[in-house]
Amino acid sequence: MNRVYFAKKLLEISEVKNKTRKSTIKKVKEKLKERINKFRRYRFYVNGRVLDVGTGSGIDLLALFSINPEIEAVGVDISKKALKFARDILPKDRTHLVQADVIYLPFIKETFDAVNISYMLHHHPPKLLRRIIGNLTAILRQNGVMLISEPSVKSEADALRQEIYTLKYDLKNYLEIRRKVSSTDTQFHLYSLVSIFDCNTMYPSLLKQILIENDLKIEHFEIITEKFDRKEAKKLIATIKTQIKRSDIPNYEKAYLLDKSNALYEKLKLIDPAGDRSMVFKVKKKARN
Ligand SMILES: C[S@@+](CC[C@H](N)C(=O)[O-])C[C@H]1O[C@@H](n2cnc3c(N)ncnc32)[C@H](O)[C@@H]1O
């Protein structure tokens, strides 16, 4: 496996650790209804054994238990801290929590009646996406169902153009910075700072292609556009401004960045931006004849 992948994973684990520290059972329960509604909307009614990969706080498994308390749940996550949190909110007698990388799942073929993936695939580059979907298809039983919910790019065409140009210009910048960096620790941090190492651009058409390659039957596909939260955006800009003001960068840099932040308020008044997009695929593993 590539060293960049491993370094990024380590950074991600510590990020999830920090996020989990801020999470509370109350906060998870506030979002529970939303997740229950998601499963009802896509008629993801599980009987038997379900796998939730990248389970995080365990919210989706909790929602599935609320719909059917008889399921047997398996939650996998690379973060021990997240699993510890999930352990506290899920029924102990019907849940197995496993710390593993989704690339190397420790399960035998055709073990699960259903697989749920929620906001985990976008952490992986396309080559690994193929491997993950391949592995998950293998451990799913015939006629088993997989529900995938992931963030989606707004426009594939715009995103592709943006990716090509970002790669071109940021690669040039990266090569210059990289020459000046000798510590391995700093090198690894660059992977989360420099956009050329990002892999969170999920294209519905690419995921669809991978699902088809695995001979999965697409039962439902949907793109959801959330409402853009202007209030939240205003709060975010205010936080950014405070951060700039409190920083120890030179005053001329502060002034430049504050001007830029203020321009965002103006744009926000003029434009009605679209909210985040997510995609949902419900697929079924075909039965062998
Ligand atoms: C954005 S969170 C989503 C959590 C949860 N599924 C939800 O919908 O709230 C992504 C989760 O995937 C986990 N994750 C990321 N990469 C992983 C990998 N390679 N193997 C297993 N888990 C992974 C992270 O630790 C994190 O808990």
Q: For position 159, what pLDDT does the model report?
A: 92
Where does the pLDDT of residue 200 fall: very low under 50, low under 70, confident under 90, or very high at 90 and above? low
CA of residue 249 to ligand 1 center, whole Å: 35
- Same domain, yes or no, for 243 and 185? no
Reported pTM: 0.91
Q: In the numeric block, which tokens belong to residue 13?
A: 């684990």
**Tens-place pLDDT, residues 223-251:** 999 999 999 999 999 999 999 999 999 99
Please give the average per-residue pLDDT across 200-214, as a whole number.
93
- Same domain, yes or no, for 69 and 98? yes
Q: For position 87, what pLDDT does the model report?
A: 96
Residue 24: is its pLDDT beyond 90?
A: no
CATH code for the domain of 12: 3.40.50.150
- Same domain, yes or no, for 279 and 245? no
Please give the average per-residue pLDDT across 95-99, as a whole number.
97
Give the DSSP letter string of 3-56.
HHHHHHHHHHHHHHHHHHHH--HHHHHHHHHHHHHHHHHTT----SEEEEET-T
- Same domain, yes or no, for 15 and 137? yes
Give residue ranges with CB within 6 A of ligand 1.
12, 16, 54-57, 59-60, 76-79, 82, 101-103, 118-120, 123
CA of residue 124 to ligand 1 center, whole Å: 11
- Same domain, yes or no, for 33 and 135? yes
Residue 35 CA, closest ligand 1 atom number = 8
- Same domain, yes or no, for 8 and 80? yes
Residue 289: is its pLDDT beyond 80?
A: no
- Same domain, yes or no, for 65 and 114? yes
Confirm whether 113 is domain-assigned. Answer: yes
CA of residue 210 to ligand 1 center, whole Å: 20
Q: What is the DSSP letter of 123?
A: G
Into how many domains does the chain fold? Answer: 3
CA of residue 120 to ligand 1 center, whole Å: 5
Q: Which of 192, 214, 249 is the last residue of a domain?
A: 192
Confirm whether 115 is domain-assigned. Answer: yes
Q: For position 257, what pLDDT does the model report?
A: 98
Confirm whether 197 is domain-assigned. Answer: no
What is the pLDDT of the chain when averaged over all its residues? 93
- Same domain, yes or no, for 133 and 222? yes
**Tens-place pLDDT, residues 264-282:** 999 999 998 889 999 999 9
Confirm whether 53 is domain-assigned. Answer: yes
Q: Within 13 Å and on the Cβ side, how many CA atoms surround 255?
A: 3
Q: For position 174, what pLDDT does the model report?
A: 92
CA atoms of 70 and 66, how far apart (whole Å): 10
Q: What percentage of the chain reaches a pLDDT higher than 90?
A: 75
**Could you give the 3-state DSSP secondary structure of residue 139?**
helix
Beta sheet of 95-99, edge-to-edge order: 95-99, 72-77, 49-53, 112-118, 140-152, 277-285, 216-225
Kindly state the helix (H) or strand (E) to which residue 140 belongs, with its residue range: strand 140-152
CA atoms of 78 and 61, how far apart (whole Å): 16
Q: Amino acid identity of 112?
A: F
Take atom 14 of ligand 1 and give the residue whose Cα is closest: 54
Confirm whether 95 is domain-assigned. Answer: yes
- Residue 24: CB atoms within 10 A of its CB come to 11
- Same domain, yes or no, for 39 and 161? no
CA of residue 153 to ligand 1 center, whole Å: 19
**Tens-place pLDDT, residues 54-67:** 999 999 999 999 99
Contact 37, 63 (CB under 8 A): no
Q: Amino acid identity of 147?
A: L
Choice among 29-33, 75-79, 254-258 with the minimum mean pLDDT: 29-33
CA atoms of 152 and 159, how far apart (whole Å): 10
Residue 2: is its pLDDT beyond 90?
A: no
Confirm whether 112 is domain-assigned. Answer: yes
- Same domain, yes or no, for 59 and 85? yes
Please give the average per-residue pLDDT across 108-131, as a whole number.
94
If one residue of 78, 136, 192 were mutated to test the ligand 1 pocket, choosing by the most ligand atoms within 8 A of its CB, it would be: 78
- Same domain, yes or no, for 14 and 102? yes
Confirm whether 42 is domain-assigned. Answer: yes
- Same domain, yes or no, for 96 and 143? yes
CA atoms of 73 and 62, how far apart (whole Å): 9
Take atom 24 of ligand 1 and give the residue whose Cα is closest: 54
CA of residue 119 to ligand 1 center, whole Å: 7
Q: What angle do CA 30, 92, 12 make, to 5 degrees?
A: 60
DSSP H helices in the chain: 3-22, 25-41, 59-67, 80-89, 126-139, 156-180, 184-193, 204-213, 230-246, 251-270
Q: For position 199, what pLDDT does the model report?
A: 79
Range of the domain at 265: 231-270
Confirm whether 77 is domain-assigned. Answer: yes
Contact 7, 191 (CB under 8 A): yes
**Tens-place pLDDT, residues 181-193:** 888 888 888 888 8
Contact 150, 87 (CB under 8 A): no
Please give the average per-residue pLDDT across 34-38, as a whole number.
96
